[in-house]
Amino acid sequence: MKPAAFDYVRVRSVREAVDLLAAKDDAKILAGGQSLTPMLNLRLARSQLLIDIKRAEGLRSLAADDSVVAIGVGWTHAEIEDGVFEDPTRGLMRHVARGIAYRAVRNRGTIGGSLAHADPAADWVSTMAVLGATLVCEGAGGKRRHVAADSFLQGAFLTQLASDEVLVAVEVPRLSAQARWGYYKICRKAGEFAHALGAVIHDPARNICRIVVGATDGPPKLLPGTAAALAADPMSEALDGLDQEIIAALPEHEPAARRLHATAVRRAIAAMSTRMDH
Ligand SMILES: Cc1cc2nc3c(=O)[nH]c(=O)nc-3n(C[C@H](O)[C@H](O)[C@H](O)COP(=O)(O)OP(=O)(O)OC[C@H]3O[C@@H](n4cnc5c(N)ncnc54)[C@H](O)[C@@H]3O)c2cc1C
């Protein structure tokens, strides 16, 4: 199918994009186009105006200090995979990028587009939640808002972004040299969207242990009880309370789906335990 007719504008600044979003009700940002263009083609989405931000100033920025790296949303999955800039997460972001779709999609798809699109099964959604990252949204008059990544999604394809805001950066906390991580997505073919996803970070030097279960049909869920048990005994893979915590976190899910999610989390923890080099 072909998309319904639309106008196209390539903007040079975020401010220009925000002004256009405010002026037109159904205007949409176009980043890598890897999710939006198939939806337009299938007429699952419609827009009279596409605002292409690929060349907007400042969206391929990097600003680092000792504890956080602010990554502009315009970096592609492929650039992250290739290590074009230093990975503040000791390899987690490169690992995640490598597992997204296939190279042609990764060449164009952006980290910001993935987060703003808010598919619950998307890799960056769960990754940024487990990292405790912060998303930076810019609205009218250049006003910026900071939103915790683990509360950015309000539901499937629904975020805290206002209709006239652009996601401009992701502030990713640095992991320490002692940190370890595990990431496991269950899908039928390599590079597919996950059916279930587990992600874990243990950074004793920063007193952080976080576990996320993702690809849940809604926002990723933190599992604080299991994370506390893991922090108390990092070599433990038993984690007796995990199944109960998954039931509480995913009350609407069928038992088989919950088992799949629990398996993804267990495998992420196991991957972390064997990954002593990170
Ligand atoms: C075959 C295939 C397989 C895939 N497999 C995976 C997978 O395994 N894992 C995975 O995570 N993803 C997967 N994807 C999705 C891919 O990661 C996309 O790159 C991503 O979802 C969208 O990024 P984009 O830059 O292309 O955004 P676009 O498609 O351009 O935009 C997506 C949406 O976000 C909005 N948007 C984009 N940028 C901003 C911004 N800065 N501020 C506000 N709104 C914005 C747009 O208006 C649009 O609604 C797959 C895609 C394809 C086609």
The rounded distance, in Å, linking the Cα atoms of 257 and 21 is 38
DSSP 2: -
For the beta sheet containing 221-222, the strands, ordered from the edge strand earlier in sequence to the opposite edge, are 180-186, 196-203, 208-214, 221-222
Domain boundary residue, one of 173, 202, 230: 173
Query: Which residue is associated with the tokens 């007796």?
Result: 240
What pLDDT sits at residue 235? Answer: 73
Residues in the chain where the model's pLDDT stays below 70: 237-238, 274-278
Q: Are 69 and 40 members of one domain?
A: no
Please check whether residues 119 and 156 belong to one and the same domain. yes
Query: At which of 129, 152, 173 does a domain end?
Result: 173
- Residues with Cβ within 8 Å of residue 209, at least 6 apart in sequence: 200, 201, 202, 203, 227, 228, 230, 231
User: Residue 130: CB partners within 8 Å, gap ≥ 6?
Assistant: 181, 199, 200, 201, 210, 211, 212, 220
Nearest Cα residue to atom 21 of ligand 1: 114
Is the domain of 115 the same as that of 187?
no
Q: What is the pLDDT of residue 240?
A: 85
**Segment 94-150, tens digit of pLDDT:** 999 999 999 999 999 999 999 999 999 999 999 999 999 999 999 999 999 999 999
Which atom of ligand 1 is found nearest the CA of 187? 8
Question: Cα separations (Å) of 50 from 37, 158, 257, 258, 268?
Answer: 10, 19, 37, 39, 38
Residue nearest to atom 49 of ligand 1 (CA): 117
**Full domain range(s) for residue 16:** 7-52
pLDDT tens-digit readout, 251-274 = 999 999 999 999 999 999 999 876
Contacts of 273 (CB under 8 A, 6+ apart): 180, 182, 234, 235, 237
Pocket test for ligand 1, best of 18, 36, 152, 189 (most atoms within 8 A of CB): 36
* Domain count along the chain: 3
User: Which residue puts its alpha carbon closest to atom 37 of ligand 1?
Assistant: 113
Give the dihedral sign, CA 73/187/212/99: negative
- With respect to residue 57, please indicate whether it lies within any of the assigned structural domains: no
Domain boundary among 173, 198, 225: 173
43: left (phi over 0), alpha (psi -120 to 50) or beta: left
205 CB-contact burial (10 Å; exposed 0-12 / middle 13-18 / buried 19+): exposed
18 domain-assigned: yes
pLDDT score, position 238: 61
Q: Is residue 2 part of a domain?
A: no
pLDDT of residue 278: 44
Q: What is the CA radius of gyration of the chain?
A: 19
Are residues 94 and 163 both part of a single domain? yes
Tokens, residue 62? 């990097």
